[in-house]
Chains A and B, each alone.
Chain A
């Protein structure tokens, strides 16, 4: 089992550019979560999906952020346009809804300059 796979591991982009982060959850998991971590705000849940359907997106900061899960094995988090305050580590996690724990990916470190 390769675990939750995120790409890219690091992304440096200029303000105003579009950024797309990718996540492949563990096969068979039916819930997927996007978190953001900064020193100031800690780990924040942005959005989560259950069976590919967005359940709660109340943590998405603003309209510049969007997330999709077109199938059970892939999700994207897009920021358009990106701003320096979006700089953070973005984590994807997956789980069985009724299961034990979440498995997190290694994260994508995003720097917007």
Chain B
């Protein structure tokens, strides 16, 4: 599986934008970029995914570099409830099935 690299931790102030980076230099043409987050004492939660174009949803935006070797998850206005571990994952859909392999993620702290 292609690997992703994320900073171990980041901090943000409440109500400010947060840019969470992810490097995936060995990404293949069929890999989707997925982001999940895990709040304390909860299971992981799907945030957003994309292939080549930037994506927006109610939770966040995903900006994908033109060469697809990196991406950035953008939380437009961080709240205290956004404090979580954020995982950037490459998902390859194969005829034999697919799976998500979680790395260590980025632990986001939000200061009031």
Which residues of A are at the interface with B, using a C-beta cutoff of 8 A?
31, 33, 35, 42-45, 48, 50, 55-56, 91, 93, 97-98, 100-107
Do residues B49 and A106 form an inter-chain contact, with CB atoms below 8 A? no
B104 at the interface (CB under 8 A from A): yes
A106 and B43 in contact (CB under 8 A), knowing A42-B102, A101-B49? yes
How many Å lie between the Cα of A83 and that of B87 in the bound state?
A: 29
A55 and B97 in contact (CB under 8 A), knowing A42-B102, A43-B102, A100-B49? yes
B10-60 residues at the A interface, CB under 8 angstroms: 34, 36, 42-46, 49
Of all A-B residue pairs in the complex, the 10 with the closest CB atoms, nearest first, are A101-B46, A104-B43, A43-B102, A55-B97, A50-B97, A91-B43, A104-B44, A107-B43, A48-B99, A45-B99
Do residues B101 and A45 form an inter-chain contact, with CB atoms below 8 A? yes
> Do most interface residues of chain B lie in helix, strand or loop, or is the interface mixed?
loop
List of A residues within 8 angstroms of B102 by Cβ: 35, 42-45
List of B residues within 8 angstroms of A45 by Cβ: 99-102
